[in-house]
Amino acid sequence: MLTITLSIFIPFVAAIFVPLLYKWIHSRKIGWFVLLVPFVLFAMLASFIPSIANGETYIHTIRWIDSAGINFTTYLDGLSLIFGLLITGVGTLVILYSIYYLSERESLGRFYVYLLMFMGAMLGVVFSDNLLVLYVFWELTSISSFLLIAFWYYRKKSRYGAQKSMLITVSGGIAMLAGFIMLHTMTGSYSVREIVDTIGQHTDKPLFLFAMLLVLVGAFTKSAQFPFHIWLPDAMEAPTPVSAYLHSATMVKAGIYLVARFTPVFGGEMTWFYIVSSIGIFTLFWGSFNAVKQTDLKALLAYSTISQLGLVMSLFGLGSAALNEGHSANSIIYAQATFAALFHLINHSTFKGALFMVVGIVDHELGTRDVRRLGGLMAFMPITFTIALIGSFSMAGLPPFNGFLSKEMFFESLVNARNLDLFDASTLGTLFLVVAWLASVLTFVYSMIIVFQTFFGEFQPDRIEKPSREAPFGMLLAPSILATLVVGIFFFPNIIGNYLLRPAMAAVYPSFENAEGLIPHIVAWHGFTNPALWMTVGVVILGIILYKFLRYWRGVYTIAPLKWNLDAAFNATLILLEKGSNYFTRLYMKGYLKDYLVYIFSFFIVAVGGALLLTGSYSFDFSNDGPITANEFLIVITMTVAGIAILFAKSRKTAIILNGVLGYSIAFFFVIFRAPDLALTQVIVETVTTALFLLCFHFLPEWKKESSAPRTKLLNGLIAISVGAIVTILGLTVQGNRMFESISAYFEDSYNLAGGKNIVNTILGDFRAFDTMLEVVVLFIAGIGVFTLIKLKTRKEGREFEDQ
């Protein structure tokens, strides 16, 4: 359906008009225009809920590069609908929040351009059916998030956080691209739907495991799974609306989406199960463990996000066990872990988005988010406190909040996992259960830190930068809506279960679509015999004890090796790479063009000449060559004389004219060989370049004769002769040993293929249009750079003149 395709492009189109409107409005009112974009998209996607719930799916294809199997195909099913609603729904609330949060002194036009770019890229990720198109949007999310994190670019930490997130997520994206190419090599298709349908025929191929691992690297880097999680805390330097959007409901969920989407492809393999569930469980624990020691509320939420993402990831790993059990009763039980993952995905977006906004309100109104300087805020900020209480208790897994329901389902999935045949011993299943339970205890602890150390205790007016007061209504509206959803979902969870989670489960388990019992009925009370209930009771009891005596055991973080961290390793690696690259660069960057040419030609001689010599690939066959005419001899002699004469030219103009003789002589060759279009192109290019050379060199000093040592002249002569000889041998070898038919016959039909009579023009403008487009883009970027330098120089000279 075209509507889904349009939903991807609408944010990009709106982003084009934002700067124009901002020049006209130039106030925070620009946010109201931007707010319409996600609101309309959310309403448009919400209209698909009834039909998707009834099992409908929608697909729309725009033909793009048919010969390479690359088309712009969008696909809407239950899984992509959930993510689309989160992207647009939370996006609407975040933009509403930003209208009141950001000052009019900020570059609001730039901020909303970046935000809309990110929104469109995320929608492209979740709606794309073609792997390469998905990858393009995937990297666009990294680029736009880099711009958003570095929005306050004048801050060193903002630049560092943006760079760090960019390096890690883009590197993971490149690995994911390699995995996609391997999938295409195996299946012959870039379509996710077609790969899901045919992957059963290719699981025994050698590339299958490598493709799986590379796709997981992309997912883990994006969703901040251990050990790639280190970028997320530094990304908190972004403005709070960015954190509430990217790091609670959208960007960090892209990796989750990828794992869910490719579960039907890789989920039947034990390797997938072990990696996804193990990394998820450890990330859950590591994130919660590190969250407790944070004193910055935003950093605490960053690590809590890492932990919650690990919880969701582990559930998808456990749920993949259903694909190893066929259609048995056990498979239905294990598939419910995926149901819990999808449910917690939604719940996490609501309570974590609200909490990020609450922290932003505290920072905005008081000028700090350091819990050591806060306390007693409940009396001054009762509404903010209420929202924080709801969000924190939901994150801790307490009733009556939606986090309790999905946390109970998480515990039930872990209990069921102990009976998996995939575990060689029950101890491994027990280990998963214990680690997850301990992580939940720590989650309870840091949730209590948010509530009690911020809003209870003694008020410290001398340690905060601004007078205490409640936030304005507009800033409270968005988190209040999210808090309402937290409570509402607890009392009416099956609305989401029936209309959103059911079709999403059908997308993750297409072969289980009609399996009875796949979609559980969500209830808060399962009786006293339910193990999950007693696990929650244990979490609360031990959590209260650990929170009460926090100051006595917090010193554990200073014990080696706990004080060592991956951030230090990352920074040390960057420093090492920078020093190594600087050292290597200084070895060959001498500042002389002639030295660089020596390096290039020497490498060419060793690489190409050595390959010809070692492989014995050079051989000549002149039997099929035509006779050489007198005209051709004359042109060759002319070119030889001109080329040698350049070496003895005493002025630049003489050298340029002799160089032009070489170019025009080649044009004569094209005429003789019956290629008038090539000859015309060559004459035009040579005329323009010769004229430009003459114009530029006119302003340069006189050409002075270089005085080089005899040894240098001998070396240069040997290099020149060697390069010429190798190129000649290579050309003669290729000419006399054709292994394939020439492709020129294909281009001769340029009129029928591309509608152009000039072969050269059709090659440049159609057959290799992408190359031409990128070359133009490079020239455009270079032109912008030159223009910027000129403007900066002019501005600097103007200021110096004014100072005088």
The DSSP 8-state label assigned to residue 191 in this structure reads B
Segment 586-607 mean pLDDT? 87
Centroid of chain to Cα 551:
39
Of the candidates 622, 447, 603, which has an alpha carbon nearest to the alpha carbon of residue 540?
Answer: 447
Is residue 388 within 8 A of residue 355, CB to CB? The reply is: yes
C-alpha angle with apex 544: 249 to 551, nearest 5 degrees?
Answer: 95
Of the candidates 241, 234, 259, 233, which has an alpha carbon nearest to the alpha carbon of residue 172?
Answer: 259
The DSSP 8-state label assigned to residue 296 in this structure reads B
Segment 721-739 mean pLDDT? 84
- Give residue 564's pLDDT: 62
> How far is 204 from 268, CA to CA, in rounded Å?
12
Q: Is the pLDDT of residue 425 over 50?
A: no
Beta bridge partners of 65: 70
Segment 6-31 mean pLDDT? 88
Q: Answer positive or negative: Cα dihedral of 497, 500, 506, 507.
A: negative
Segment 117-137 mean pLDDT? 96
The CA-atom distances, in angstroms, between 677 and each of 49, 545, 648, 659, 666 are: 58, 85, 34, 22, 13
Is residue 152 within 8 A of residue 158, CB to CB? The reply is: yes
Orientation angle between helical segments 2-25 and 30-46, nearest 10 degrees: 170
- Give residue 74's pLDDT: 95
Instruction: Report residue 1's pLDDT band, with 50, 70 and 90 as the boundaries.
Output: confident
Assign 625 to helix, strand or coil. coil
The DSSP 8-state label assigned to residue 607 in this structure reads I
Is residue 354 within 8 A of residue 479, CB to CB? The reply is: yes
- Give residue 350's pLDDT: 96
Centroid of chain to Cα 730:
42
Chain-wide mean pLDDT for the chain? 89
Instruction: Report residue 40's pLDDT band, with 50, 70 and 90 as the boundaries.
Output: very high
> How far is 75 from 78, CA to CA, in rounded Å?
10
> How far is 126 from 642, CA to CA, in rounded Å?
61
Q: Is the pLDDT of residue 174 over 90?
A: yes
Centroid of chain to Cα 382:
39
According to the per-residue pLDDT averaged within each range, which of 246-260, 304-318, 670-684 is highest? Answer: 304-318
User: Residue 29: how many CB atoms within 10 A of its CB?
Assistant: 13
3-state helix vs strand vs coil in the chain, percent to 5: 75, 0, 20
pLDDT tens digits, one per residue of 350-379 = 999 999 999 999 999 998 999 989 988 998
Residue 57: what are its φ and ψ, rounded to 5°? -135, 155
> How far is 410 from 339, CA to CA, in rounded Å?
10
The DSSP 8-state label assigned to residue 201 in this structure reads G
Residue 784: what are its φ and ψ, rounded to 5°? -60, -40
Segment 439-461 mean pLDDT? 93
Q: Is 152 exposed, middle or buried (0-12, 13-18, 19+ CB in 10 A)?
A: middle
User: Residue 476: how many CB atoms within 10 A of its CB?
Assistant: 22
Of the candidates 163, 153, 156, 170, which has an alpha carbon nearest to the alpha carbon of residue 111?
Answer: 153
> How far is 99 from 97, CA to CA, in rounded Å?
5
pLDDT tens digits, one per residue of 510-537 = 877 665 567 888 988 888 888 889 999 9
Beta bridge partners of 76: 58
Segment 39-54 mean pLDDT? 95
Q: Is 133 exposed, middle or buried (0-12, 13-18, 19+ CB in 10 A)?
A: buried
Tokens of 480: 């209040």
Tokens of 694: 């003459």
The DSSP 8-state label assigned to residue 62 in this structure reads E
Q: Is the pLDDT of residue 802 over 70?
A: no
Q: Is the pLDDT of residue 801 over 60?
A: no
Segment 628-657 mean pLDDT? 88
Tokens of 604: 């060419």
Tokens of 85: 């609603």
The DSSP 8-state label assigned to residue 130 in this structure reads B
- Give residue 173's pLDDT: 96
- Give residue 795's pLDDT: 65
- Give residue 796's pLDDT: 59
> How far is 91 from 164, CA to CA, in rounded Å?
24
Q: Which residues of 64-73 are buried (b: 16+ CB within 10 A; e: fewer)?
A: eeeeebbbbb
**ω into residue 520 within 30 of 0, thus cis?**
no
- Give residue 217's pLDDT: 97
- Give residue 744's pLDDT: 75
> How far is 270 from 321, CA to CA, in rounded Å?
8
Residue 28: what are its φ and ψ, rounded to 5°? -65, -10
- Give residue 613's pLDDT: 84
The CA-atom distances, in angstroms, between 773 and each of 153, 406, 766, 769 are: 31, 50, 10, 6
CB within 8 Å of 348: residues ≥ 6 apart? 248, 308, 312, 403
Instruction: Report residue 797's pLDDT band, with 50, 70 and 90 as the boundaries.
Output: low
> How far is 405 from 388, CA to CA, in rounded Å?
19
Tokens of 498: 């029936």
CB within 8 Å of 134: residues ≥ 6 apart? 124, 125, 128, 180, 192
Centroid of chain to Cα 230:
15
Assign 370 to helix, strand or coil. strand
> How far is 417 from 434, CA to CA, in rounded Å?
12
Centroid of chain to Cα 62:
24
Is residue 270 within 8 A of residue 378, CB to CB? The reply is: no
SS (H, E, C) 482-506: HHHHHHHHHHCHHHHHHHHHHHHHH
Of the candidates 232, 199, 201, which has an alpha carbon nearest to the alpha carbon of residue 215?
Answer: 199
Q: Which residues of 531-558 are buried (b: 16+ CB within 10 A; e: fewer)?
A: ebbebbeebeebbeebbeebeeeeeeee
> How far is 447 from 455, CA to CA, in rounded Å?
12
- Give residue 713's pLDDT: 84
Q: Which of residues 532 and 703 earns the better pLDDT score?
A: 532
Is residue 195 within 8 A of residue 265, CB to CB? The reply is: yes
Assign 295 to helix, strand or coil. coil
Instruction: Report residue 774's pLDDT band, with 50, 70 and 90 as the boundaries.
Output: confident
> How far is 212 from 271, CA to CA, in rounded Å?
9
Residue 61 belongs to what H/E stretch?
strand 58-65
pLDDT tens digits, one per residue of 609-629 = 888 888 877 777 777 777 888
Of the candidates 245, 445, 257, 259, which has an alpha carbon nearest to the alpha carbon of residue 356?
Answer: 245
- Give residue 233's pLDDT: 93
Q: Which of residues 183 and 772 earns the better pLDDT score?
A: 183
CB within 8 Å of 79: residues ≥ 6 apart? 257, 260, 261, 503, 504, 507, 508
Residue 63: what are its φ and ψ, rounded to 5°? -65, 135
- Give residue 482's pLDDT: 97
Segment 491-499 mean pLDDT? 94
Tokens of 107: 């570059």
Q: Which residues of 666-685 are buried (b: 16+ CB within 10 A; e: fewer)?
A: bbbbbeeeebeebbebbbee
Q: Answer positive or negative: Cα dihedral of 552, 558, 560, 565.
A: positive
Of the candidates 642, 644, 647, which has an alpha carbon nearest to the alpha carbon of residue 659?
Answer: 642
The residue with tokens 């240069």 is: 716
